[in-house]
Structure 1
Amino acid sequence: MGFTVRPRRLGSGPNRRARLAPALAAGVSVLAILTACGGRAEPTKLTWHTCGDDMECSTLTVPLDHTRPQGEQLELSLTRLPAGGDRIGSLVVNPGGPGVSGLDYARAARSIVSEPVLERFDIVGFDPRGVGRSSPVHCLDDAGLDTFLALDTTPDTADEQDALVSASRDFAAACQAHSAKLLPHIGTIDVARDLDLLRDALGDPQLTYLGKSYGTLLGATYAELFPARVRALVLDGALDPALPRLTLNTEQALAFDTAFRSYLRYCLADSDCPFSSRTISGAAQELAALLRRTDTAPLHAARPVTESLATLGALTPLYDRSGWPILTAALRQARTGDGTLLLQQSDHLVGRLANGTYSNQTAANVAINCIDAPYPRDPQTYAQAAQAADRISPAFGSYLTWSSLPCAFWPAAPSKPRPLRAAGAAPILVIGTTRDPATPYSWAESLAGQLESGVLLGFDSDGHTAYFNGSGCVDEVVDRYLVTGVVPGEEVVCPDIR
């Protein structure tokens, strides 16, 4: 399915913060940097109007094909929360995904950035091309997505593998049938060029940006394309653009396994923990066995909870410690054959509403990942990689590998790999969390090393992403950098004192 992120529901207390729930094997890419031909699109003058909750909304016109700036155009939906005090400029935010709405993310501005940043910057969000309210990609209808997402993505037999291959091929064909014109122009490079047009339209000579998870790849790509136009980039929950796609899936499986074992230390300290074994290794084996049983005996809920849906439901609460009690309750239910909570978590992650409709998150996620870098075309390559990943993470490895299979049949040609260096850019702050389930800390170390001006900030904690997640140490470093451009003089690892 790809590497996706989705804002969690916001709490109501005085220290509200938006957390991201990215999921599933995805793929980051080493990017091909394309040189636009035929000049540059003319900057757009933005016309803003009020749209509730102190927000303002607008649209930005961008070319479908940046090599033909005067050709067919797209409209991107924008929103902003104006600065509350002495304004420096705009802070453009991206929650990741790919495929998650930046409009919704910016509307939660007071829960995603600190008060000093709200005072000095307009907080600007946009739905990237192909996402949400910006010319959304369309592949399957709601019933088709229900079927596709419930499909067995951990095939144990030749027949199961054939069914998965067929469904993945059909998914790619459906995307081509409904969105053929958009598919070749939906990659991160295209969005980075849109981001530069947005910066220009906002009137900022340089970009100030906060990107989380996949948003770190967008920020790093922007810096490679436009290094002189970087003012300050915060790349939180970093992806490693140097990794081959299926290697990325395997490393992510290991990170999820590490995160689950961290959860188990919390769970096993409670007498209410739903595992028979009182050891971490034993409890981890119990989860893998529970998920395997759903392959032939789905859990009961409003819809049958298949192995794929149960795995999604178990992954989702690992993105934030606040989800750990939910995971405990869901696994306690599952031991009785009830998959209600696991299904709720799975539906939240993939953007399925209670009325059975979906956002276009899954379609956009797959389409962007598949165009960003080459995937293997032979399904047997996935089978071999899944076996290796399963040895590393019996609960999550096979699922995270096979979920990328639609890219084996993708109709649009992917970008060609090239490393990201961003030579000549101002300092770029890269953040990693040591037990991040979706973007391992090693990826942040790698990206900070690849970027010539990369500076690493570590957070020794659990959960996905670090900024505005309860660490005064992280927030202080990020806020100072956004406001002044000053980075730490040496690598900092913030302790977890929550």
Structure 2
Amino acid sequence: MRPITRILAALTTGMTLVIGVGAANAEPTGPPPSIAWAPCPENPEGECGTLRVPLDWNRPKGEGIDLAVARHTATDPARRLGVLLVDPGGPGGSAAEFALSGLFSPEIRARFDIVGIDSRGTGNSLAIPCGDLMTEQPTNYPADETGFTALLRYNQRVLEQCRERSGPIFDHADSGLVAEDMDAVRRALGERKISYFGLSYGTVFGQQYAEKFGDRIRAMVLDSIVDHSVGTRRFMGERAEAVDDSFAEFARWCDRTVSCALHGQDVFGAWETALVRADGQPLGRQRLIDSVYGSLRGPDWAGTADLIATTITQDPLAARSFEPNYQSVRLATVCQDFSLRIKNFQEYSRLRAEELRRSPLMRGSFIGHDEATACIGVPGPPANPPHRLDIRDAPKILVLNGDTIPSPRTPGRSTSAGRRRATPRC
């Protein structure tokens, strides 16, 4: 992947744009926590350590947990601007590994200490390991009451077993607690303010930090926003619409790119043909949709074209993987950050119809649908419910999302619709 360079202006100048108003917490008194740094075993250029924080920030003297932290110190100390805290999203991606990756430009690495914290339940911060419990899952596209009930009971079994295996971290991994952890790291580093760059679900952590600790932000960039204010209908519907926008953009690329495997063909027609072909192949239609979704998300448009072309001629390629630990930690994090509580088959049917209405090409969003249906059966209200952000003391925040023009070939879209915003984390 190319180094991340587009955040440079916002972070080096403190330039800011958009989001809201609210009050910050008072700075804690007493000695700050500390991190014992040592060379990272697999990356000699980085430093690794752990930070002890409360399991429950409402009980600061109660049980503690150790968070894995890594940093790459500024290569030009004379021009250092401070700490840049980063998170790759998921949830489930390792921010500690992300901080030490080669994705950041030389200028960013020269002027910032780049710091990553493996958020609760991920990486080396008490990872929630439940993937092997998720066997023989019924379809999460139930066609009737019986199918919905089977999914509900399956989810309840997985939740119970995963909570028992993981221990108390399972019920203490929402984004509100992650924001408290981020500020503990800031204090441990001895910084009055930090800069932050969050991708995808890392934008939820950033939103929470800005709301709780706005006056401790120097600059913030949130790329591919996951809006923490939305209910289930928008959570699923807006992502469904965004993934169709991504497909339309891919089709335009293919039309103008000779190397595209579908160049010169009706891309939308080829997609429909591939879906029909996939119905008669071992991996099936949904696996093809999920695989193409993963390619669009990259974006890997050449790979998207290859997947479609290959499916028409032979078996589709295997689905691409998502962030490590994602399927497990989403139960503890996403299901407690959003009110994804689909009560019955009737409600599910209405939400599914809305997905299909807004996404006639891709038949909805892989992530949006999977996360919403994974939370079916989760008891009680979310620990960190979605709400409109209230940020008074934070600087304005640079928000990066995709901007696409709906294609005239996209079913149900008008060429007069103009430009619109679409969330890449579709």
> Shorter-chain TM-score: which interval?
0.7 to 0.9
Normalization by structure 1: what TM-score?
A: 0.70
Name which of 231, 250, 257 aligns with 1:244. Answer: 231
State the partner residue of 2:364: 397
2:331 alignment partner in structure 1: 366
Corresponding position of 1:228: 215
Could you list the runs of 5+ residues in structure 1 that have no partner in the other structure? 1-9, 20-32, 300-304, 352-358, 438-458, 466-498
1:135 — aligned with what?
A: 126
Cα pair distance change 1:160/1:277, threshold 3 Å: farther
**1:260 is aligned to 2:247:** yes
How large is the Cα RMSD of the aligned pairs? Answer: 3.4
Q: How far, CA to CA, are the matches of 2:313 and 2:96 in structure 1?
A: 40
Q: Give matches, 1:209-228, under 5 Å.
A: 209-228=196-215
Q: 1:429 aligns with which of 398, 401, 414?
A: 398
Cα distance in 2 between the residues matched to 1:54 and 1:157: 55
Displacement of 1:176: 2.3
Q: Which of residues 109, 119, 123 in structure 2 aligns to 1:118?
A: 109
On the 8 A contact 1:213/1:236 being kept in 2, the answer is yes
Letter in 1 for 2:220: L
* Equivalent residue, structure 2, for 1:385: 351
- Counterparts in 2 of 1:484-495, with a 5 A limit? none
Asked if the contact 1:435–1:463 (Cα under 8 Å) also holds between the matched residues in 2, the reply is no
Q: Name the CA shift for 1:130/1:42 in 2 (closer, same or farther; >3 Å).
A: farther
Change (3 A) 1:219 1:77: same
- 1:176-215 alignment runs, 5 A limit: 176-215=163-202
The residue identity in structure 2 corresponding to 1:221 is Q
**1:41 and 1:405 mapped to 2: Cα distance?**
44
1:367 Cα offset (Å): 1.8
DSSP-derived class of the 2:187 partner:
helix
Which of 305, 320, 331 is 2:298 aligned to? 320
CA distance in 2, matches of 1:463, 1:425: 23
- CA distance in structure 2 between the aligned counterparts of 1:41 and 1:244, rounded to whole angstroms: 39
Change (3 A) 1:166 1:376: same
The AA in structure 2 aligned to 1:361 is Y
In structure 2, distance between residues paired with 1:146 and 1:373: 25
SS in 2 for 1:210: strand
The answer (yes or no) to whether the contact 2:230–2:387 under 8 Å persists in 1 is: no
The one-letter code matched in structure 2 to 1:248 is F
How far the C-alpha of 1:337 sits from its partner, in A, is 3.6
Q: What residue number does 1:99 align with? A: 92
Where 1:182 maps in the other structure, the secondary structure is: helix
Q: CA deviation at 1:383?
A: 2.2
Per the alignment, residue 410 of structure 1 pairs with 378
Q: Give yes or no for contact 1:237–1:464 (8 Å, CA) kept in 2.
A: yes
Of the structure 1 ranges 412-421 and 201-210, higher mean CA displacement relative to structure 2 is found in: 412-421
Give me the whole-angstrom Cα distance separating, in 2, the residues matched to 1:372 and 1:244: 11
Relative distance call for 1:290 and 1:264 in structure 2 (3 A) is farther
1:65 corresponds to which residue?
56
Question: Aligned residue for 1:333?
Answer: 310
Give 1:64 shift.
0.3
Distance 2:117 2:394 in 1: 24
Aligned residues of 1:59 and 1:78 also touching (Cα < 8 A): yes
C-alpha distance in 2, partners of 1:436/1:220?
A: 28
**Deviation string, structure 1 residues 279-317 (Cα, Å, up to 9, x no partner):** 4553454455455x2xxx443xxxxx2444322211011
Equivalent residue letter for 1:118: R
One-letter code aligned to 2:291 = G
Matched position secondary structure for 1:419: coil
CA displacement at 1:425 relative to structure 2: 1.6
- CA displacement at 1:180 relative to structure 2: 4.6
Tell me whether 171-180 or 308-317 shows the greater mean CA deviation.
171-180
Tell me the distance in 2 between the aligned counterparts of 1:428 and 1:251: 22
- In the TM superposition, residue 133 of structure 1 has moved relative to its aligned partner by 0.9
Cα distance in 2, alignment partners of residues 163 and 139 from structure 1 = 19
One-letter amino acid of the structure 2 residue matched with residue 61 of structure 1: R
Unaligned runs of 5+ in 2: 7-21, 407-418
> In the alignment, residue 65 of structure 1 is paired with which amino acid?
D
Residues 189 and 221 of structure 1 are in contact (CA less than 8 Å); yes or no, is this contact kept in structure 2? Answer: yes
Decide whether the 8 Å contact of 1:319 with 1:463 is kept in 2.
no
Could you say if the C-alpha distance between residues 18 and 118 of structure 1 is closer, same or farther in structure 2, counting changes exceeding 3 Å?
A: closer
Query: AA paired with 2:252?
Result: R
Range 389-398 or range 361-370, more displaced: 389-398
Aligned residue number for residue 416 of structure 2: none
Aligned-residue offset at 1:253: 0.7
State whether residues 80 and 106 of structure 1, in contact with CA within 8 Å, keep that contact through their aligned partners in structure 2.
yes
Tell me what 2:409 maps to.
none
1:27 is aligned to none
